[in-house]
Copies of this chain bind each other. A is one copy, B any other.
Amino acid sequence: MDIPGNMNIKLQPTVTLAEVAEAAGVGESTVSRVLRNHGSFSQKTHDRVMAAVERLGYVPNRIAGALASAGSRLVAFVIPSLSNIVFPDVLRGAGGVLEASHYQSVFAVTDYDPGREEAMVAAMLAWRPSAVMLAGLEHSEGTAKMLRASGCRVVELLDLDGTALDLAVGFSNAAAARASAEFMLRRGYRRIGYVGHDLVRDTRAGKRFAAFCAALEAEGKPLAGREIHAGASSVEAGRLGLERLLARVPDLDAIYFSNDDMALGGYFLCMARGISIPSQLAIFGYNGLDMARVTPQPLSTIRTPRVAVGQVAAQLVLDDAPSQTIDLGFELIEGETA
């Protein structure tokens, strides 16, 4: 007689290595060797083992494997967000390289919160990953300490303006911002405003802002106005931000946006308002989103090698490269909006 409540209990009829060995009539270690194609074994044995594996539908247990061999082949990503396309792009680049080498990706999202970052890093470290990849160079004391103590590789991504813990792959946000400022001044813009998002939490945006302002000041043309949205960047925030800034400071001739999402919002506002770009108002972004190349006027921006950052980071880990910093640079796109 079945106990009703028992219906939910699903007994996993998990097939184990030992059962495969039994079925194939060989020893456990032989099955292990065949499956990992490691060590030597005869063709006959190989076939018998594979047949048993097939027949039983055996799926190796990597938890046990990782414990026994002290190698998880897991790479942990602790990223601020999945809404900002930058991070999926990096994941994509790294994921492709890692999958080819049979590594797996685990991720956690911090929402730009250092406290959450620390918690997530601890949680990831519990899986003894081969490497931990983080955004940026700013981390809490505790995070850095754990990472150092963990003994696993650490890769800090998308920022080179500071000191890395181990490996760093990216580009200089400050240099990108300076290049943007110089470009805009060269083009003759004189009353430049800034529309950005939360630059305390997004430290890379903060660094760009600081460097941009400094570059303008160095040329004696300080920032003529700014509007900072309190939350994350988005097209809508960019549109709103520009609207507010123009209401306060109408006579600007160019706007530097914290990134392309924001810039597109500004671009759309101008289109809706009939503000002609760039003659009445110039727009400059950051990131080089694909979308921003296809707008009626391609956006003037900085293109960052996001996918490449992921790929290079992954490759360094696979190669067990010595600690180093790799600058993948950026490209200034002279679009038609500035």
Residues of B with C-beta under 8 A to A102: 123
A104 CB within 8 Å of chain B? yes
Taking the complex as formed, is A188 at the interface, i.e. its CB lies under 8 A from any CB of chain B? no
Are A127 and B63 interface neighbours, CB within 8 A? yes
**Chain-B contact segment, one of A84-92, A133-141, A204-212, A248-256:** A84-92
Taken together as a complex, chains A and B put the C-alpha atoms of A62 and B129 apart, in Å, by: 11
Looking at A20-28, A154-162, A177-185, A263-271, the stretch in contact with chain B turns out to be A263-271
Pick the interface stretch among A168-176, A216-224, A292-300: A292-300
Given known A63-B67, A146-B59, A294-B236, contact A109–B95 (CB-CB < 8 A)? yes
A320 in the interface (beta carbon within 8 A): yes
A151 within 8 A of B: yes
CB within 8 Å for A99 and B88 given contacts A150-B59, A268-B294, A294-B239: no
Chain A 180-196, CB-CB to B under 8 Å as 1, else 0, gives 00000000000000000
Contact status A107-B107, CB under 8 Å: yes
Q: Mark A1-17, 1 if CB is under 8 A from B, else 0.
A: 00000001011111000
Chain B positions within 8 Å of A12 at CB level = 70, 150-152
> Given B61, B82, B83, B122, which contacts A126 in the complex, CB threshold below 8 Å?
B61
Cβ A59 vs Cβ B122 within 8 A = yes
Decide if A146 touches B91 in the complex (CB within 8 Å): no
Residue of B nearest to A81 (CB): B92
- How many copies are assembled? 2
**Cβ of A8 and Cβ of B294 under 8 Å apart?**
no
Interface residue A313 (Cβ < 8 Å from any Cβ of B)? no
Task: Please tell me the number of chain A residues within 8 Å of chain B, measured between CB atoms.
Answer: 69
A272, CB-defined interface residue at 8 Å: yes
Q: Give the complex CA separation of A89 and B291 in angstroms.
A: 18
> Known: A272-B296, A295-B268. Contact between A128 and B61, CB under 8 A?
yes
Interface hits, A253-304 → B, CB 8 Å: 261, 264-265, 268, 271-272, 290-291, 293-296
Q: Does A108 contact B (CB under 8 A)?
A: yes
Kindly state the separation between the CA atoms of A239 and B152 in the bound complex, as whole angstroms: 45
Q: Are B62 and A127 in contact (CB under 8 A)?
A: yes
A51 at the B interface (CB under 8 A): no
Interface flag for A246 (CB, 8 Å): no
Extra 4 A-B pairs, beta carbons < 8 Å, given A12-B151, A65-B126: A59-B146, A61-B67, A82-B89, A83-B89
